[in-house]
Structure 1
């Protein structure tokens, strides 16, 4: 069995070629819900198909209501509010930071302008998928159906090695990105353009988000640990640098986030999410 349950959701880890682009698929169903969450940007693109009632997200620049045709989101640079109301049924895919480019050749900057719907990528094939999902009696069948459909209709693109290498980076040291450029014999301008097209961020901003996410996970797991130690553990120069970069993505200070953890408002499974 390659799936497990968490927070009443079924989470499935692909065991085929989709692992190159997808971290996991999930399905979550509940009765009546009326809840909102504050979400700090995380290192994933995501596809969500809303099979229930109201499901929306709001950012500083846009609002989006999810429907059965789904919504495809890229990496965010600012927090967003997610809200659900009524019967909750949602099917989703958490992609790697470059997942949409790997699967369909979609340039990530498109996702900064708006959320794409699944039919923006699959066209009328989306309706075929929705009909197949309706025929699934069990939740795990919906996940397997979505996985098979994506695999069958993918238009895979290779990911440059220099981007994969930076994707595993956890260093804010000066010259780190320059060393990646030098090692792969690519000009700084070309490297930044390629990275931005595939991931949606410049390399520098991506690495900052990577470190902020590591700090978030550490605060959530060890709220008694001093924030100064967490700052140094994750490569920040000093506490002021930590606060400035953290707030630029999270819209709050590390201390404000820590208080939310202590108050029991942070999701244990997804520490980027704070219950409102």
Structure 2
């Protein structure tokens, strides 16, 4: 499986944090591609062969808006695969799509039925595009049109809080953040609940886990103890518990699953 992480083009860089593209030209039996919690909602396009999917939901939507996920989203795929995910800054979700963030937590909706995506037949254009470059261009244009057609309303305390939590890889004491922002615990809870769809504590734990997951991937899942300490876990067993919570798998099971994907 070829996986690339791309920086968004400058016109949408204030909306999109990063873009992930997964591709495989191999014909193989059904596989499950997990979208692991990373603290970002996403607009995701998936191209696959539904006739080869036996255990998953056959009625899958090619173009989906996902809110925050606390459990892995399972994409059942087979045949030629293309997945393009645009990860959005969390504080923009309600302004861009008109949903309360809590409505979309651990949920996905068929985006092809909504607003500009429906009006431009985005799903059909993506499905009929001959190349990855064409699909990326269509997605870029969609995000840009959407941002220009919406009034972005953001409490500036929230972007600061989210960036600070991510910079500290989820280990920042929330009491310190509240003091820095001059807000109460209840106010911070409300800001996150309405706009992010998660509590500040859960969002921090997701950021902490994702930082550890990235480090494990870079080191081939070796030295779990050091990775645990580097990312604020008391010991290796606490990291393994977090791993099972957010992936439903042990680190070894996750690594084995990843190795099954064809190149």
Question: What CA distance in whole angstroms lies between the structure 2 residues aligned with 1:144 and 1:100?
Answer: 21
Match of 1:111 in 2: 104
Match of 1:13 in 2: 7
Question: What CA distance in whole angstroms lies between the structure 2 residues aligned with 1:77 and 1:88?
Answer: 25
Match of 2:231 in 1: 234
Match of 2:81 in 1: 88
* Alpha-carbon distance, 1:104 to partner: 3.1
8 Å Cα contact 1:53-1:87 kept in structure 2: yes
* Alpha-carbon distance, 1:87 to partner: 4.3
8 Å Cα contact 1:21-1:100 kept in structure 2: no
Matches within 5 A, 1:200-219: 200-219=197-216
Question: What CA distance in whole angstroms lies between the structure 1 residues aligned with 2:73 and 2:107?
Answer: 14
8 Å Cα contact 1:231-1:239 kept in structure 2: yes
Structure 2 segments unaligned to the other structure (5+ residues)? none
SS at match of 2:43: strand
8 Å Cα contact 2:221-2:251 kept in structure 1: no
Matches within 5 A, 1:121-270: 121-122=114-115, 125-130=118-123, 132-133=125-126, 136-154=129-147, 155-168=150-163, 169=165, 170=168, 176-223=173-220, 225-252=222-249, 256-258=250-252, 260-261=254-255, 263=256, 265-266=257-258
Match of 1:41 in 2: 37
* Alpha-carbon distance, 1:203 to partner: 0.6
Matches within 5 A, 1:49-60: 49-54=45-50
Please give the per-residue CA displacement for 1:132-155, whole angstroms capped at 9, x wherever unaligned: 546754431221122112211332
User: What TM-score comes out, normalization by structure 1 length?
Assistant: 0.73
* Alpha-carbon distance, 1:31 to partner: 5.7
* Distance change in 2, residues 1:47/1:235 (3 Å): same
Q: How many residues align?
A: 253
Match of 1:74 in 2: 67
8 Å Cα contact 1:46-1:92 kept in structure 2: yes
Give me the CA root mean square deviation: 3.5
Question: What CA distance in whole angstroms lies between the structure 2 residues aligned with 1:191 and 1:24?
Answer: 28
SS at match of 1:48: strand
SS at match of 2:108: coil
